[in-house]
Chains A and B, each alone.
Chain A
């Protein structure tokens, strides 16, 4: 190993949002304004399974707007799964742009490992 970095995922790429929804077999996201419980938010709207209000991906800032009332209006695991799918699809997309192949592997703890070979001997 040479270098290890931990990243907090920020949702900034519309195409990756669409790809994540497709990967999870969610309805196609739409651009719009959603009314949450006490506010409104504009962005790419993702309907997570059995969530009362849509997840709003504000791709210009990387922030997410949502209201699941601490799990009562939508399970956190669905949001987590979306974020994981987004990070996977975004990684694959960026690696492809650089001309790299990506190998994907599911791990026992629910993580997904992607290996990008950048070529050249060590």
Chain B
């Protein structure tokens, strides 16, 4: 499941975490919130960010 978690601390600082995304699609998903809420002060990419998005391919096994 793809989710965006937003944690707003008691002083109004916001932390946005995307979960369940692969590759750079997470940035696209949360961009609308990042731009709407204010100024980015820190960014961290996790292991999933660097996973390539594998396009779905047709099964083309050949039998001999």
Interface flag for A83 (CB, 8 Å): yes
Q: Tell me if A4 and B17 are in contact (CB < 8 A).
A: yes
Q: How far is the CA of A116 from the CA of B30 in the complex (A)?
A: 10
Least CB distance from B26 to A in Å reads 4
Q: How far is the CA of A97 from the CA of B16 in the complex (A)?
A: 18
Q: Tell me if B41 and A3 are in contact (CB < 8 A).
A: no
Least CB distance from A20 to B in Å reads 10
Q: How far is the CA of A98 from the CA of B54 in the complex (A)?
A: 26
Residues of A within 8 A of B7 (CB): 107, 111-114
Residues of A within 8 A of B36 (CB): 13, 90-91, 94
Q: Tell me if B38 and A7 are in contact (CB < 8 A).
A: yes
Interface flag for B12 (CB, 8 Å): yes
Interface flag for B8 (CB, 8 Å): yes
Residues of B within 8 A of A111 (CB): 7-10
Q: How far is the CA of A87 from the CA of B42 in the complex (A)?
A: 17
Q: How far is the CA of A66 from the CA of B24 in the complex (A)?
A: 39
Q: Tell me if B30 and A91 are in contact (CB < 8 A).
A: no
Q: Tell me if B12 and A5 are in contact (CB < 8 A).
A: no
Task: Give residues in A with beta carbon < 8 Å to B.
Answer: 1-10, 12-13, 62, 77, 80-84, 86-88, 90-91, 94-95, 98, 107, 109-122
Task: Give residues in B with beta carbon < 8 Å to A.
Answer: 1-22, 25-27, 29-30, 32-34, 36-46, 48-49
**27 A-B pairs (CB sep. < 8 Å):** A2-B25, A2-B48, A3-B21, A3-B43, A3-B45, A4-B45, A5-B43, A7-B15, A10-B37, A13-B36, A62-B39, A83-B12, A87-B8, A87-B12, A90-B37, A91-B33, A98-B32, A109-B9, A110-B9, A114-B5, A116-B4, A116-B6, A117-B1, A117-B2, A118-B2, A121-B2, A122-B1
